[in-house]
Amino acid sequence: MPNTVLWREIQRHNFTSLKSLADFLELTPTQIKELDLHSLFPLNLPRRLAQKIPKRTLDGPIFRQFVPLIDEKIEKVGFSCDPLSENQARPTPKLLHKYNERALMLPTSGCAMNCRYCFRRHFAYETNKPGFEEELAYIRADTSLREIILSGGDPLSLSNPNLATLFTELEQIPHLRRIRIHTRFPIGIPERIDQELVDILKACSLQIWFVIHCNHPTELDVEVLEALKRVPAPLLCHSVLLRGVNDSIQTLKALFERLVDHGITPYYLYQLDPIAGAAHFEVSEERGKAFMEELTLHLSGYALPKYVREIAGQGSKTPV
């Protein structure tokens, strides 16, 4: 099988059926009753991540991040379907313009996996209109823009030819300087970092910044780290503070140390965005601040991410 399509073939075997996953994990009937079998935000879990989940348990950092539980039905004041008011900062169907000199392109709704705390789990993506003509026209017209952030969905859900075409279009806009790629793909399907993608990144005349999303050291196995070493761009990491996943000094310290030991800079630790369906993941800001104060006693400055939250209407992330 050609390497350029290997990752897509692997993705086709993701767990998308909760019954199949429950059988794979050998869950009991009592445990199955704790799953949200009718979630509108479907299960989507690469098999390599499912293999890291202990059998016959509803616990563990991988399980909690990706498997829908009835806890998602918990309603809490302040949690909503659009907590960041992104629809108010959407000049075209696939573009968000929230920050000065930067804009986010949403080229796809597809992801390698569905994170249960995703702040766009209720987002109405434009999926009927191919191409990015409106978005590119907007970017060309706004000469204040210096950086385009490829978000989503996951931009690496695009095929390599489509990514190469998009890069070429962006390279031709004279006021742009940088492309930032936000991706979770290598964590679930490290085969996505294939030689064709590496060559596309190398060939781009704009500065590439490559940002992964990782919340627990378990996610950073040898195959993932080897794939990331192939990326010809500076590597950053975003993490979200999540109850039951990484809300301990030991876990955060291990995560940030593992990142920097492999040349990846911890960039942001996010306070959870108050998205409906994710209230059970919330960790108080007081605990988050205490974690950061303790971590400063153990980690070098470059190993400490900024602890931030996003507030609707603000022109940048807000330090907590």
What average pLDDT is seen over the chain? 96
Find, among 92, 76, 89, the residue nearest to 279 by Cα: 76
Answer yes or no: is pLDDT of 1 > 70.
Answer: no
Distance in angstroms (rounded) separating the CA atoms of residues 171 and 184: 24
- Position 5 confidence tier, pLDDT thresholds 50, 70, 90: confident
Structure tokens at 34: 């704790």
Distance in angstroms (rounded) separating the CA atoms of residues 265 and 212: 10
For the whole model, what pTM was predicted? 0.95
Contacts of residue 211, defined as CB under 8 A and 6 or more positions apart, other chains included, come to 180, 181, 182, 183, 235, 236, 237, 238, 267
To the nearest whole percent, how much of the chain has pLDDT over 70? 99
Distance in angstroms (rounded) separating the CA atoms of residues 249 and 213: 19
Query: So what's the pLDDT on residue 190?
Result: 98
Distance in angstroms (rounded) separating the CA atoms of residues 300 and 260: 10
Distance in angstroms (rounded) separating the CA atoms of residues 135 and 151: 13
Query: So what's the pLDDT on residue 80?
Result: 96
Q: Are 204 and 232 in contact (CB under 8 A)?
A: no
List strands edge to edge, sheet with 178-183: 95-99, 102-105, 147-150, 178-183, 207-213, 235-240, 265-270, 306-309, 318-319
Domain locations in the chain as residue ranges: 3-68, 86-319
- For the stretch 49-76, pLDDT in tens is 999 999 999 999 999 999 999 999 999 9
User: Bigger pLDDT: 2 or 77?
Assistant: 77
User: Class assignment of domain 86-319?
Assistant: alpha beta
